[in-house]
Structure 1
Amino acid sequence: MVKKGEELARIEDVTLKDQLIAASAAVRTARSALQVAEAEQERATRLSKAGVITQRDFERAELSVEQAKGQLAEARSRHALAQEQLNRARVVAPFAGVVSERQASAGDVVQPSAPLFTVVDPRTLRLEASVPAAQLEQVKVDTPVEFHVTGYGDRAFRGTVERINPVVDPATGQVRIYVAIPNTDLQLLAGLFAEGRVASKGTQAVAIPIDAIDDTGTEPAVLRIQEGRVQRVNVTLGLRDEVARQVEVRSGLEDGDVVLLGAARSEVVEGGRVKVSPPRPDSKPVEEAGPGVGGSEAPSGAMQPTPRPASTQPPAEDAAPSH
């Protein structure tokens, strides 16, 4: 971690220091010359009033003062320039953060404008993603975004849209969006890939894991446990959220119904008796699906993660948190 204004490097400044010393001496010389010229002007004023010197001599004394003032101003300007050049020999952190990359080492010869360090502020990151232009109407500034980051398992992170690119990419038909991500706990790293969804619309609904759906028949169905027996129930499905692996159930189930998932469906028969046991204290709890469902109509990204919602949540592609 570095603090704002902390010195990161120093350019060889021997010559710059010599130039500053010379400029300081020039300022002192010009100041002394001005003092002498002003003294001569006062003397010329008294002599002119006494009629001892001519008007031309008096004007010459006044001109000497003006010239001395100009020379002092020029000397001060050169001194300020020399001081600025010396100050620029110090490379300091523009803000508090972390040095993520060092492009030069001690003793290297560097060119003007060449990068020396990369400093990032890990407390505020930005997610850059793309959404189809056809669904741009559903994306507004301050719209919430939920996403998962590679390497962090199923943990969900949240941010808000802070800016929308006003230009559509003609090659892809996508619009770039920028999402502000609070990272005060410093758990996220810049440069990681993510996938998520733009929560442009929320709705209260019954949602179940996609793994609970049996779509082998003519209508989608689930195996529900009711009064200790397995019951096959046809359901009407709504929006799908491929990121959270949830699907909306519009009819066929009630809030609180217990359904079988995945491999458990193949181990029972309809009408069979089963016993639902509570989880053991040492078992990992299953994350409960919250209200609101996303969608699944967006294509997945190949190498870079893709926020993938459907009609109510525009997809975002090629997303990567950045500084």
Structure 2
Amino acid sequence: MPRFLTSLSVICALYTVLPLPILAATHDIETITVQFTNQRQPRVFDAKIEPVKAATVSAQTSGRIINIYYDVNDLVPQGAALLEITNKEQGASLAGAEAELAKAQAVNSEAQAQYNRYKSLFPKGAISKGAMDEATAKAKSAKQAVSAARALLVKAKESLNYTIVSAPFSGRVTKRFVEQGETISYGQALFSGYDPKTLRAVFQIPQQDVTHVRQLNEVRIQLADGRVITANNIELFNFADPQTHSHAVRVNFTPTNDSDNLVGQWAKVMFEQPTQSSLFVPMSAIHQVGDLTSVYRKNGDRFVLNQVRLGFIDEIAQQVEVLSGLMPSDEVVINAAQYLINKPATKVKE
């Protein structure tokens, strides 16, 4: 079939289904006059939920893993043992450090006693100045040796304590990098986790919104399950991303007891935009057929189907913004569906 005949068939079909203009009795049809109104429209951004406190625990000594007490997704209390490493080498170092401290203390005790004896005899001339100086130096050296031995003992004790790796804070385990029986070395990553008590929503805003976001006192975070959390801890980055030229924003919030599964999820961050004058009509006035969005506009004693382009939808007030297709003082049918049901029958032109 030629293209112009196909187009003519489509036009005839549309004319049959939606004859324009439509005659109707206007006295019993409820209408509304469109006027500019001031509406506060929310800005909505996609945000990712992240933990505020997260860490990777690394080995602070070397050895072979003999026990692992927690796994991925486990909730770990602060100070709980995550894994245990062989401690024979560290135990031997501790015993050696204790012996060195005892030896240093004994030498120091003898040196201090000799120094005190020489100190009492030196004024009487029974001790030479050289012997007195030697006793003084030995006393100071022995005292410092005790301090050094104590430091080595503390180091040995800490090294022994490092054979039991503990959780630095209460949190949930996200990764485990080792298996039981493996030999680990100093600095090797062992566990990763986060604290679920404090989270944040991270998102990007364009440059034109920076000034407005700086003035915000609070934002609303809509979670994936529909819950909305109000947060007032807003942190706007002072620098822009060099590639996207957008600014990052962090919004810290405290989740509820049943919100321990939010990390990594997407959420909606909403805040109010400055007041703007716009044309709004009730959502019931919109007539949608396929890609055609329209309203019934009064034209004299008739109602004509008028195509419109929509913008912001206010679900709470059940209103929708009309970006184009209507002018102030236009009168439209409030309930398009009811009008279609009750409108008088129109003869189809043959």
Question: Partner residue of 1:276?
Answer: none
Count of equivalent residues: 257
Partner in structure 1 of residue 12 of structure 2:
none
Structure 1 pair 52–197 and aligned structure 2 pair: CA distance change class (3 A): same
Match of 2:172 among 98, 112, 128: 98
Identify which of 167, 178, 197 aligns with 2:270: 197
Please tell me whether residue 69 in structure 1 is matched to residue 69 in structure 2: no
| Residue aligned with 1:186, SS | coil
Is 2:222 aligned against 1:148? yes
Instruction: Report the Cα distance in structure 2 between the residues aligned to 1:77 and 1:94, rounded to whole angstroms.
Output: 24
Deviations 1:274-310 (A, max 9, x none): xxxxxxxxxxxxxxxxxxxxxxxxxxxxxxxxxxxxx
- Aligned AA (1:57): A
* Whole-angstrom CA distance in 2 between matches of 1:183 and 1:105: 33
Change (3 A) 1:134 1:23: same
CA distance in 2, matches of 1:241, 1:112: 58
- After superposition, the CA RMSD in angstroms is 4.3
**2:312 partner SS:** strand
1:213 — aligned with what?
A: 286
- Residues of 2 paired with 1:111 and 1:158: CA distance? 46
Relative to the length of structure 1, the TM-score reads 0.64
What 5-or-longer segments of structure 2 have no aligned partner? 1-74, 298-302, 323-327, 345-350
TM-score by length of 2: 0.59
Hey, what's the Cα distance between the residues in 2 that align with 1:202 and 1:4?
Answer: 48
Amino acid in the other structure paired with 1:170: P
Residue 73 of structure 1 aligns to a residue whose secondary structure is: helix
1: CA distance, partners of 2:232 / 2:132: 74
CA distance in 1 between counterparts of 2:92 and 2:315 reads: 64
2:196 counterpart SS class: coil
- The one-letter amino acid paired with 2:152 is R
Partner secondary structure for residue 287 of structure 2: coil
The CA deviation at 1:238 is 9.4
Deviation for aligned residue 1:182: 1.8
Shift of residue 102 of structure 1? 2.1
Q: Which has the higher strand share?
A: 2
Match of 2:87 among 4, 10, 13: 13
Q: How does 1:246-257 map to 2 (within 5 A)?
A: 247=320
Q: Which residue is 1:168 aligned to?
A: 240
In the alignment, the residues of structure 2 paired with residue 43 and residue 111 of structure 1 have an alpha-carbon distance, to the nearest angstrom, of 51
Structure 1 alignment gaps of length 5 or more: 224-230, 253-258, 272-323
**Matching residue's letter, 1:116:** L
SS at match of 1:74: helix
| Mapping 1:1-323, distance limit 5 Å | 1-140=75-214, 143-150=217-224, 152=225, 154-187=226-259, 188-201=261-274, 213-214=286-287, 221=295, 240-241=312-313, 247=320, 268-270=341-343
Distance across 2 between alignment mates of 1:172 and 1:33? 69
Alignment partner of 1:139: what SS? helix
Per the alignment, in what secondary structure is the counterpart of residue 189 of structure 2? coil
Task: Identify which of structures 1 and 2 has the higher relative contact order when contacts are C-alpha pairs closer than 8 Å and 6+ apart.
Answer: 2
Tell me what 1:227 maps to: none
Q: Which amino acid aligns with 1:8?
A: L
Question: 1:69: Cα distance to partner?
Answer: 1.1
* Identity among equivalent pairs (%): 24
Deviation at 1:131, TM superposition (A): 0.7
Query: In the TM superposition, what is the alpha-carbon distance from 1:26 to its structure 2 partner?
Result: 0.9
Shift, 1:91, TM fit: 2.0
